[in-house]
Amino acid sequence: MSPAAAARATSFAATFSASNAPSSRGLLHRPFRGTPARRRAVASMAVSAPRSSAAASFLERRESERALHFVKYQGLGNDFIMVDNRDSAEPKVTPEEVAKLCDRNFGIGADGVIFVMPGVNGADYTMRIFNSDGSEPEMCGNGVRCFARFIAEIENLKGTHSFKIHTGAGLIIPEIHNDGKVKVDMGQPILNGLDVPTKLPSTKNEAVVQAELAIDGLAWHVTCVSMGNPHCVTFGAKELKDLHVDDLKLSDIGPKFEHHEMFPARTNTEFVQVLSRSHLKMRVWERGAGATLACGTGACAVVVAAVLEGRAERKCVVELPGGPLEIEWREDNNHVYMTGPAEAVFYGSIVH
């Protein structure tokens, strides 16, 4: 590495007062599309050089140019731009800027942007998330695990910790384990069709279980569940007895579920293959984000739907394209628990 490059290399965690970033991560600076060419991208993967006055002045210059500092996290390939927003109750970027940040060619690239904000109503923190299209969902299962790990990093917490997080879906309580995984109490599933919401008629008490939904000439059997955000779960159609999820063209069929008139708030859609009564395989089309490698609330909804349809036990491994999640729908308190990984990918700053 040249002396100039070494001077630039520094852990972005230094910008967080209590963060201890591993020495293998680097600082990424990338201008938005349309930023003048003189703002040249600077990147380095080596961060062993000590923080120098040159590096400090570099960060100060970035601050003066409205740099947004961030950490990129991923949970089973569902990736998020994490922003420390604890000093304000308003997000540091607009929904339009979020869409630019999430662009994988002209921005950082992510499925969404998550802001760590001051807690309200007795919660330790508030989580706000925006999808890659700039829309704001109620919450995100994989995102809340990343949120918890990010909190532990910026607060310099070690060992097992739990937090009360205020979200658009209510109070969520994640717990960080020593093995690096995060277990999240996702609360109780909402089964009343009107509250999901869906216009499909109830088929089981007030729940929508194995109802028929017509799409592209097929009568899909769907079960609707809300985990604070709406989900439509299907194990197949009347004309398609054996669903092989790897054969689906999600980009074709996913939007037709998402924007179907039966879902007034749009919907996330999970296509599920039963491998055994304790092992389910799913692919997901997320509202506002499209096909993603994982969806935590979706995995929870899948187990609830599988139990309601008599296809699975209350404790299952749900296999997603990005990896497995452990899901349990407890009978004693009706809460759904999700356990899975979350990890930091890189640190950086971007002019916005």
Confidence of residue 239 (pLDDT cuts 50, 70, 90): confident
pLDDT exceeds cutoff 80 at 170: yes
Q: Indicate if the pLDDT at residue 311 is higher than 90.
A: yes
Instruction: State the Cα–Cα distance between residues 284 and 231, nearest whole angstrom.
Output: 10
Tell me, yes or no, if 140 is annotated catalytic: yes
Active site residue 316: no
In the chain, the domains with their CATH numbers are 3-187+342-351 (3.10.310.10), 193-334 (3.10.310.10)
Selected catalytic residue, list 146, 224, 232, 295: 295
Q: Are 196 and 230 in contact (CB under 8 A)?
A: yes
Tell me what pLDDT residue 240 has.
81
Q: Answer yes or no: is pLDDT of 234 > 60.
A: yes
Do residues 86 and 117 touch, judged by C-beta distance below 8 A? yes
| pLDDT reading at 186 higher than 60 | yes
Q: Which of 102, 140, 300, 316 is catalytic?
A: 140
Report whether pLDDT(32) > 90: no
pLDDT interval class at 10 (50, 70, 90): very low
- How far does the chain reach from its first CA to its final CA, in angstroms? 29
How confident is the model over 111-136, as a mean pLDDT? Answer: 97
Does 274 score more than 90 pLDDT? yes
In angstroms, the CA 166 to CA 241 distance is: 41
Percent of the chain predicted with pLDDT > 70: 82
> What digits encode the pLDDT tens for the residues 52-90?
454 445 445 545 457 899 999 999 999 999 999 999 999
